[in-house]
Amino acid sequence: MNAMRKTYLPLSDEDRNYLKSLSKKRTIQAQVVDRARILLYKADGMTFQQIADKLAISTATVRLCVSKFHKGGLDAALFDVQRSGRPSEITDDAKAWMISIACQRPAELGYAQELWTLASLHKYIQKHAEEAGYPRLSTVTKPYIQKFLREQDMKPFKIKYYCEKRDPDFETKMHEVLLVYKQIEMQFDENGDLIVPDDYKLTITVSYDEKPGIQAISNTAPDLRPTPEHGEVYRDAEYKRLGTLSLLAGIDLLTGEAIPLVSETHKSSDFIEFLKILDKKYPSQDTIRIILDNHSAHTSKETRCFLDTMPKGRFKFVFTPKHGSWLNMIESFFSKMTRQMLHGIRVNSKQELEERIYKYFDEINREPVVYHWKYKMDEISEEEAASV
């Protein structure tokens, strides 16, 4: 016993946190609270006599509690009847219940928030564990829940976005787009040079989309440029909105040239204006094939009337599936443009914004990049592409 008084109880962090929660509870037996405190004090290195004096109990009670801990563990030291309180382990059913709670939307359980936080999930589990039939979880610790979720590879605190395939013909339409990309690939020889037919009739393929709502924003005070003392650009947090512009743009997938049209809107009339730019740009014998989405301006009565005025076969539209804009290669171009040029841009007028957009296209077209599509291209044979 003398040696036992001088040793520290080997408590894990989880056991220590559990005992601390028991020592503060008012809804369990007083003797369980005392036993929890005995074990905590002993883990801190207090002697039997010091513990007895602090809790106003006998040293025999202290010795018995510590002895039971050494012989049978935490449960044996705390409870007279086996498993009348905390089970030795959290059961699989209790773990499954925790997972089901983590998978639910907090708003459906009476919370205002959309996503769980670790604190709110911990609080909910503790509050509702007993009524759900898992009393052990009423004292589960926040670090345990965090560790448990990590083991299950669950992150109910985060949102990861995806595109729902709402188009019933998604696979068919995607296949049509991939066929176009395969046909483009076949228009180049093994050296990467464009193969020009003897009759000089080419099928020009343009990847097209709109980028509406580009904001013209001006500073209310001049930016402070980097200095040796301050390496960043310093900018006044206040700004002034000057309106928005729309960008209609296409990429010639044979040459990599980017073709812009900046407008106040992106209506059918604007789209028709872009088609006129393409019609003027390419020889009359060429077919202009455009990969584009299902925006109403692309299929409107006004657009169809314009196409009826064009020579037969001059324009051919290939539509991406709904929620399949990622199949259109110009999306990558817009992403690059946002990073390189539009991010943090400040202008003095909408006119300046328009001029700088056109200037960006001039810079890009000095060294055009021919885009090559790779995804699922191994599923498209040259024979199938040639037969279409």
Nearest to 244 by CA among 263, 216, 211: 216
Reading the block at residue 246, the tokens are: 């729309």
pLDDT at 3: 41
Positive or negative CA dihedral for 70, 76, 78, 80? Answer: negative
**Nearest residue to 33 via CA among 94, 79, 96:** 79
| Inter-residue contact 40 to 75 (CB < 8 Å) | no
Mark the ranges of the chain whose per-residue pLDDT is less than 50: 1-5, 82-88
Q: What is the pLDDT of residue 384?
A: 82
- Residue 248, C-beta contacts closer than 8 angstroms, at least 6 positions apart: 208, 210, 260, 261, 262, 263, 266, 270, 271, 273, 274
Give the C-alpha separation, 191 to 30, whole Å: 86
pLDDT at 2: 46
Same domain, 270 and 353: yes
Q: What is the dihedral of CA 46, 14, 83, 61, to 10 degrees?
A: 0
Residue 83 lies in a domain: no
Same domain assignment for residues 224 and 142:
no
φ, ψ at 360 (rounded to 5°): -60, -45
Per-residue pLDDT reduced to its tens digit, 209-262: 999 999 999 999 999 999 888 889 999 899 999 999 999 999 999 999 999 999
Q: Do 127 and 60 sit in the same domain of this protein?
A: no
Residues 262 and 332 in one domain: yes
Q: Among residues 49, 78, 107, which one ends one of the domains?
A: 78
Q: 125 and 183 share a domain? A: no
- pLDDT at residue 378 in the model: 85
How far apart CA 55 and CA 326 sit, in angstroms, is 69
Last residue of a domain, one of 52, 78, 104: 78
Are 27 and 66 within one domain?
yes
Among candidate residues 78, 109, 126, the one where a domain is terminated? 78
In a domain, 87, yes or no: no
* 345 belongs to a structural domain: yes
Residues 9 and 135 reside in one and the same domain? no
Total domains in the fold of the chain: 3
Q: Are residues 144 and 206 in the same domain?
A: no
In a domain, 128, yes or no: yes
Clarify whether residues 185 and 329 are in a common domain. yes
Which structural domain range is residue 227 located in?
A: 170-387
Assigned domain for 225 exists:
yes
Q: Is residue 188 part of a domain?
A: yes
pTM of the model: 0.66
Predicted confidence at residue 221, as pLDDT, reads 92
Q: Are residues 251 and 367 in the same domain?
A: yes
* CATH assignment at residue 200: 3.30.420.10
What is residue 4's predicted lDDT score, i.e. its pLDDT? 44
Half-sphere exposure of 383 (CA within 13 A, CB side): 0
pLDDT in tens, 103-120: 999 999 989 999 999 999
Domain assignment of residue 215, yes or no: yes
Whether residue 141 sits in one domain with residue 254: no
Do 306 and 365 reside in the same domain of the chain?
Answer: yes
Q: Say what the pLDDT of residue 386 is.
A: 80
Q: Is residue 85 part of a domain?
A: no
pLDDT at position 126, please?
92
Q: Are 152 and 99 in contact (CB under 8 A)?
A: yes
CB 28 within 8 A of CB 85: yes
